[in-house]
Chain A
């Protein structure tokens, strides 16, 4: 089973460039999430979606945009890359949003902004 797939695995960007981090899941989950993980800082929620066509801001949304046109895909867009966006980005999905349900994570995209 593929689960949650993130591409690319690694990327180096120059300041001011833009890019899209791809995330797709094959579990028919309604809820999807984007997190960033900085060293020693745990996971911070960037954006989340409760279903196709519905997205909402998380804890650290500035500098990012998302869309959810299908149940399977939840891309994260960086419009003007800044050094502060250097991080590891994780996409996750869950069947429901209740605390009793696990979130399934991809293996991450390691992004460096130089």
Chain B
């Protein structure tokens, strides 16, 4: 059973377009993290959201944590080829673990 469902699994867009990807769960998380992974490398943390309804911005990336702390979204404005990568969301679990989703593979075409 996958605790975190990410959609869409794969998204290909042209440079300059906007995109939104989603991370949904039926479970409540105390916090949720977003990572980006590039080919041949390990995931790198982008942001952590803690409070329900919280919105965080990282340059052209906007992250939102749902009011009920069960879901999150990542919006990229004016996507660039450097945004290409696998975006992973991970929910904090009370037993010292992170539960990862399967990821959103984003490809930005120049």
Contacts and interface: CB of A to CB of B under 8 A. Distances in A.
Interface string A87-110: 000101000011110111111100
Nearest to B6: A42
B101 A42 contact: yes
A107 B37 CA distance: 10
Interface in B28-80: 29-33, 40-45, 48, 50
Nearest to A3: B42
A48 B98 CA distance: 11
A4 interface: yes
A51 to B, nearest CB: 11
Given A42-B88, A102-B48, A107-B40, A97 B96 contact: yes
Contact of A45 (B9, B30, B40, B97): B97
B22 interface: no
Interface residues of A, number: 25
A105 B44 contact: yes
Given A43-B88, A100-B50, A90 B42 contact: yes
Contacts of A105: 42-44
A102 B50 CA distance: 13
A107 B29 contact: no
B100 A102 contact: no
Interface of B: 2, 9, 29-33, 40-45, 48, 50, 88, 90-92, 96-98, 100-103
Interface of A: 4, 31, 35, 40-45, 48, 50, 58, 90, 92, 97-100, 102-108
Given A42-B102, A42-B103, A106-B42, 20 more contacts: A4-B42, A40-B102, A42-B2, A43-B43, A44-B100, A45-B98, A50-B96, A58-B97, A90-B43, A98-B31, A98-B92, A99-B29, A99-B31, A100-B50, A100-B92, A102-B48, A105-B43, A107-B40, A107-B42, A108-B41
